Structure formats: structure tokens, C-alpha cells
Amino acid sequence: MRTGGRPPIETLPYAMAQDARALVRLSQPTGKWILVTTVCGASMALLDSTVVNVALPSIGKDLGSDVRGLQWTVNAYMLALSSFLLVGGSLGDRFGRLRTFRIGVAWFTVASVLCALAPGMEWLVGARGLQGVGSALLTPGSLALIQSTFHPDDRPRAIGYWLGLSGVAAAIGPFVGGLLVGSVGWRWIFAINVPLAAAVLLASRKVPESRAERLPQSLDLAGAVLAVSGLGGITFALVEAGAAGMGEAVVLVSAAIGVAAFCGLVVDERRSPEPMVPLSLFRSREFSVANLITLCAYAALGGSFFFVVLFLQVVAGWSPLKSGISLLPVSLVMLALSPTVGGLAGRFGPRKLMSGGGIVAAIGLILLSRIGAHPRLVGDVLPAMLVLGLGLVGIAVPVTVAVLASADPRRAGAASGINNAVARAASLLAVAALPLATGLSGTNYGAALSRSFPRAMILCAVLLVVAALLSWFLIRDSETLAHPDRPHERPPSRRSCPITGPPPPCEQPGVPRKHSSPTP
């Protein structure tokens, strides 16, 4: 169908059943309300994901938890989020993106209240899992609303605002977390979501609804269940293998269930008419290698941050606020340099940037491994964090360029969603595996942490070196730069995702996609 000589409606991103002239402009009041709503919603989830790490030692002390409980505090959220992220996008396409976004915000808020009221670790871990499901509903919906409601001429600028302002929330997360934990207690890092969510829901009343014109034939719920079973089984086996009293048979059965579920996921995705993970994308060597690099880099990032905040507070005796400040260089460097690095990767190719970034980030972790039990903030920790941030921005942003540029443009949404899920799964598995690999366990883990911290930093540095080598030998710039006869395949430049911690959703503006998957 054509309207007044315009392109078919389905060529617009998130195909909408309306003429482009009916889409919202950024200068209009409705456009401003859309931007405020989506930025605040995404910022709420990003802020929460970064403040929890700073609060872990206080949570463990208050609730009498061992290392295993702290691992599950992080992993319950990441498990639910990484497993249901792509399904959340599909639900928005089918039932309405604004409706799904609102449900996600409300769900996330109720779960946050449950976290704040937790009387013990079991309660907290369960509530964190519910938080992850809520985040999986609201996170893809926030960017999908921008893509589906703004006029094509304003969409890139709106996405730029979304990325920049959301990145600020992620960047200040460690500082806010340290401030709250040190002043009013760790429960307030969850309770603060209540007024934020109320503001988001109130602002969303000014936002128009949108949904896909061509609905998927079915939702890949079987794929989501298998993904949860696979990640959950392997995560349980890794975490519980180091727990006292856990039988070897239970661990082996859990690992076997996880492996079997992943095999079932591959079979399901091959047969599904609307797969959550289109396996055809992995026919591209660059796409497969880029996701393997993402796995290594984000495992190093998630694992190192888990250990750093524990070490600085438990061994070095720093306050939550001081340890939160120590993480700021990584966040600020990535926020400030992501657009520039994304532009360089789009212009010259990501290979050398990713290789160099991996080596520089590895050096930063090696510096951290040598800080000792009484480190100085300015003399020891901040320089190492600055080097780590410079390296991470060199690998994290170009890998997004490589992923999007190596995939079929019609599958840009699915490709970025897979990459986002891989990044979160990498952090999940690293937090599960590193304590086991370095001998960290038990309730009184201070002495063990002194020994395991440098080992963990070295192991994470090795992962980054592996990512650098994979980039150097297996990524081809010629495959990720735009071809002169296919200008629509040019990778994102200054619109690349600024990634602080888990990557926020990021798309190629103007590229149509089938699902509203996110990419942080």
C-alpha cells in the first residue's frame, strides 16, 4: 500500500499503520513527553543495575549472607533479564509498545519494593529475579517507542538524546549507590525506584501507543523457557559447586540440564517460524566472532566489577561512597568517548580499535591486581580504573559496530538484541564462575578475598587478551565497513552505543527491523 507516492508503510522502522506525516516531531510537546518517558524508564533500570554492586558488602553483612548469596543477588536479575529480553520486544510489537513498557515499569517497581522489604537472602534473590523480568519488558520498549513514534527526520536526534541521557544515569550509578548505602542504607537503592516509576507512569499518559502492523505469527515462549533453563542450570552448577554441603550429583545434574536446554534451544530456534534467536545470523563469521568477543569482554567487565567493590569495602575497609567513586572513571570515560570511538570504528573499521582496547583494558586489570590491602584512591585505584575505562571503550563500542554491520540490515534489531543478551549472559556466567575459580566462598570471606582478588583480575585480563586476539586475527574491516554500492549498510558512527556496564539498547537509526529487541 502506498500513500501519496510515499514508500510502503512497512519500510518505516517498526512498521506503523499511519502516514509518516502523522508521526511525532521532536519539537512538539508530545515528542518531548515521549523522550522524557523513555529516558526516565530506561534510566531507572540502568541505575538499578549499577548501584547494586556497590551495595553488595552491606547486603551481605546485614542479611548474614555468604559469597553464594551475593552471587545470586546479581545473577537472579541478570538471568531473568538476559533470558526474556528478546521476548519483551516481541510482546511490545504484538500488544502495544506503550502498554508493555508501562507493565514493565509497574512490574519493576513492585519487585523493587519487595527487594527493599527483604527479610533474608532467599526473599531478596527471588525479588531480584522479578526485577529482571520487569526490566526485560521496559528496556526494549523504551527505544521501540522512539523508533515507532518519531518522524524519520527527528529519529536519529531523539535516539542521540536517549543514549546520552541514559548513559549519564548508568555513569552516576556507582556514586548514587555509594551515597545511599553509606547514608540511609542499602534498602533505599530499591525504594528510590518508587517515586521514579510514578513520574515515568505519569509522563507516559502523554505518549501515543504503537504496535507492529505485521504481527509475528507466534511468540517464541519455548525459546525463552529453554534459555532460562540453560542459563539457570549452568549458573546454578557454577555457583553451588563452591557451596559447602552441596552434593556433587546435584551440581552435575544441574549442569547437564543446562547443557541439554541449550541444545534444545538450538533445535527450537531452527524450527520456530518466529525465532527469538535467528540462527541464520551466525552464518556471518564477523557476526559470530563479534559475539564471541562480546562474551569475553563483558565477562571480564562483570566479573572484575563484582570483585572490585567487594575487595575495596571488605579488605581495604573503604566506605560504599568511596568505593563507588572509584568506579566513576570507567563510566565517565566510556560516556565521554563512546561517540568518538564509534565514529572512528564506522569510518576506519573496528578491528584495530578492538584489539588495542582489549590489551589496554587488560593492563588496567593487571594494575588493579597489584593494589594491595591498603590502596590509595588517587595513587593506586583511580589510575588503574582510568586505563581500564580507556580500554573498554575501545572494545565495547566497536564491537557494536561490528555486530550491526555484519548482519543483514533487515535483521538489525535481532542482531543487536542477540548481542545485548550475550553481554548480559557473559556477566552472569562470570559472576558465577570466578569465585569458584579463585577459591572465594563462605560467610567470612575477607581473608579468602585477599587471595582471590588478584587471581580474579588476572583471569579477567586473560579474557580481554583473548578478545583482542580474536579481533586481530578474525575480524575483517572490509566486511564491516559500508560497501559503496550498499550505502544503507554503513555501520553507526557517532550514534554508537555508549556502554557503561551492561549495554543499553542501541539500534541503527532508520534501519527497519522485525522485532523490537534491544541492542549497556
pLDDT at 243: 63
Handedness of CA 66, 71, 74, 77 (dihedral sign): negative
Cell reading at 396: 565495547
Range 85-111 average pLDDT: 86
Give the pLDDT band (50/70/90) at residue 127.
very high
3-state secondary structure of 483: strand
CA-CA distance, 50 to 166, in Å (whole number)? 12
CB 85 within 8 A of CB 420: yes
Band the pLDDT of 246: cuts 50, 70, 90: low
Select the more confidently predicted residue: 52 or 47.
52
Q: Mind listing the pLDDT tens digit for each residue in 311-342?
A: 999 999 999 999 989 988 988 888 888 878 88
Q: What is the average per-residue pLDDT within 386-402?
A: 90
Share of the chain above pLDDT 70, in %: 83
DSSP label of 498: P
The DSSP output letter for 407 is S
Other C-beta atoms lying within 10 Å of the C-beta of residue 443: 12
**Rounded mean pLDDT, 460-474:** 96
The cell 538489525 sits on which residue? 412
**For the chain, what are the domain ranges?**
24-209+278-489, 221-277
- CA distance linking residue 518 with residue 505, whole number of Å: 4
Helices and strands (H and E) in the chain: how many: 17, 0
Written out in words, the top-level CATH class of the domain with range 24-209+278-489 is: mainly alpha
Q: What is the mean pLDDT of residues 135-143?
A: 82
Q: Where are the beta strands (DSSP E) in 79-220?
A: none
Sole residue written with cell 587471595: 451
Is the pTM for the entire model greater than 0.85? no
Residue-averaged pLDDT of the chain: 81
Listed residue (510, 475, 513, 481) closest to 495, CA to CA: 510
pLDDT band of residue 511 (cuts 50, 70, 90) is very low
225/213: higher pLDDT: 225
pLDDT of residue 294: 94
Residue 195 pLDDT class (50, 70, 90 cuts): very high
pLDDT band with cut points at 50, 70 and 90 for residue 388: very high
**Of the listed ranges 257-266, 287-296, 401-410, the one predicted with least confidence:** 401-410
Query: What local confidence, expressed as pLDDT, does residue 414 receive?
Result: 72
The pLDDT score that the predictor gives to residue 491 is: 42
503 pLDDT exceeds 50? no
213 compared with 473, residue with greater pLDDT: 473
CB-based burial of residue 7 (10 Å sphere; 0-12 exposed, 13-18 middle, 19+ buried)? exposed
Instruction: Place 7 in a pLDDT band, splitting at 50, 70 and 90.
Output: very low
